Amino acid sequence: MLAKDLVLQNERILLRPLLQEDLPRLLELTQDPGLWTYFTHDLRTPAGLEAWAAGHFSGDRFQFMVVDQGSQQLLGSTGFGNYFPRDQRIEIGWTWLGRAAQGTGTNMEMKSLMLAYAFEELGMLRVEFKTDVLNLPARKALLRLGATEEGILRSHTLMTHGRRRDTIYYSFLRGEKWLTG
């Protein structure tokens, strides 16, 4: 999919590949049950965290660790997936941040780094995002970033506690501008 050693960074954050040895440190960040309301896995348990990480380790997606450049603390994770080189499209998602990193601009910065990489390095024509239609904070963040809201797929994804979510899609096309954080 992508180079296994892919690193993206700016002055404030570092995005580096998820490593197996990160999982115990991540478990400390995942204990707030409110983080998983709109997520497809509950990462508060070692089994839940392993199930989520399996997508990265199997090569189904490329999961980054989000690291604060100053403190070297782990802030959360984000990833690339659903990479279709023939169609020149990729998805950014599987994103979560610990409570301390929320509202700090970290989400905007990491998405900006990933969008630049997708369009400038991978040559994508389209970058997709999707979220739970009920996840108003994520939806507002995507609109603030400049993404275009596209539509809703009904009963699209099974959530952690058995609810089926309606999934809303957003995207950027090559040449469209996004907020850079």
131 touches 167 (CB < 8 A): yes
**Burial track 100-109 (b if 16+ CB lie within 10 A, e otherwise):** ebeeeebbbb
**Is the pTM higher than 0.85?**
yes
The letter for the amino acid at 97 is L
Q: pLDDT at position 85, please?
A: 95
**Pure H helices in the chain:** 23-29, 46-57, 106-116, 136-145
Question: Residue ranges of the chain with pLDDT lower than 50?
Answer: none
State the Cα–Cα distance between residues 6 and 159, nearest whole angstrom. Answer: 29
Fold type of domain 8-173: Aminopeptidase (3.40.630)
What pLDDT was estimated at residue 37? Answer: 87
pLDDT of residue 137: 92
